Chains A and B, each alone.
Chain A
Amino acid sequence: MSAERITRREMLKRLVIAPIGVAALAALEMQHAHAATMQLYYEPYFVAVLCEGRTRCDTLWRSMVGDTLPLVPTVQHTTPYDRLWWMGYALGSAPVDMNVRILARAVDRNGVPLGPGWRTLGQATLQTPPLRWFRVEIPEGHWDEYRIEVRSATPRLVYSRLIASQGYWKE
Chain B
Amino acid sequence: MPVRFLKNTSEIADVSVESPLPVALTNASLVPADTLLVATLGVNNTANRDLLGSTTTEQPTLTGCGQYRKLIWTYFRQGADATTYWVYARTTDPLSGEPLSTGWQLLTASAGETLPGGANEWGRIDIPATGDAYYDQYRIVVQRTGGSANYDMTFKIVGVR
Contact = CB atoms under 8 A, between A and B. Distances in A.
B134 to A, nearest CB: 14
Interface of A: 1-8, 11, 14, 22, 25, 28-35, 42, 44, 46, 79-80, 82, 104-109, 113-119, 140, 142-144, 166-171
A35 B17 contact: yes
Interface stretch (B25-33, B45-53, B88-96, B107-115): B25-33
Contacts of A28: 21, 23
B146 to A, nearest CB: 21
A104 B11 CA distance: 43
B interface bracket (residues with beta carbon within 8 Å of A): 35 or more
Interface stretch (B54-62, B72-80, B136-144): B72-80
Contact of B74 (A6, A114, A171): A114
B30 A171 contact: no
Interface SS majority for chain B: strand
A108 B78 contact: no
B28 A46 contact: yes
B23 A5 contact: no
Interface of B: 5-7, 9-14, 16-21, 23-33, 35, 38, 72, 74-76, 78, 120-124, 154-156, 158, 160
Contact of B14 (A3, A5, A33): A3
A3 B10 contact: no
A159 B6 CA distance: 29
A79 B17 CA distance: 22
A82 B29 contact: no
Main secondary structure of the interface of A (DSSP, over half): loop
A95 B21 CA distance: 35
Nearest to B19: A1
Contacts of B6: 11, 22
A161 B32 CA distance: 22
B66 to A, nearest CB: 18
A42 B35 CA distance: 13
A108 B158 contact: no
Contacts of B124: 119, 140, 143
B30 A44 contact: yes
The 6 closest A-B pairs by CB, nearest first: A115-B76, A119-B122, A106-B74, A30-B23, A167-B31, A114-B154
Contacts of B5: 25
Contact of A119 (B26, B32, B123, B156): B123
Contacts of A119: 121-124
